Structure 1
């Protein structure tokens, strides 16, 4: 199965730069893995931070 950005549809298999591959974000929601490409992850960083548990911020 090809990993695809949940926001824009870009595929990880289309990326040739190893550093860019590392910048992809995987999130797990209701037992399902979803990927965000670096551009979509940057654009939606507040949404990602909002999903972190409260304990994360008190460390």
Structure 2
């Protein structure tokens, strides 16, 4: 990482990297602030866990 650059967004569920998807696909990603940082969910994980996200269930219930 160079000075002034930000870390690459990575899905915290499946590990897919922002750099591996198109700009259009990245628009469907979700983010949340947790533990002083930002966690990202790719479009696939967001869709699979939409009820858990909307219900604000803790991560351990997502399995």
| TM, length-normalised to structure 2 | 0.70
* Structure 2 unaligned blocks of 5 or more: 1-6, 57-63
Once the two structures are superposed, the pairs formed by residues 11-22 of structure 1 within 5 Å of their partners are: 11-16=17-22, 18-22=23-27
Runs of 5+ unmatched residues, structure 1: 52-59
Structure with the higher helix share, 1 or 2: 1
1:23 maps to 2:28 = yes
- Root-mean-square deviation (CA, aligned residues, Å) is 1.1
Relative contact order (alpha carbons < 8 A, sep ≥ 6): 1 or 2 greater? 1
Alignment TM-score, normalising by the size of structure 1 = 0.74
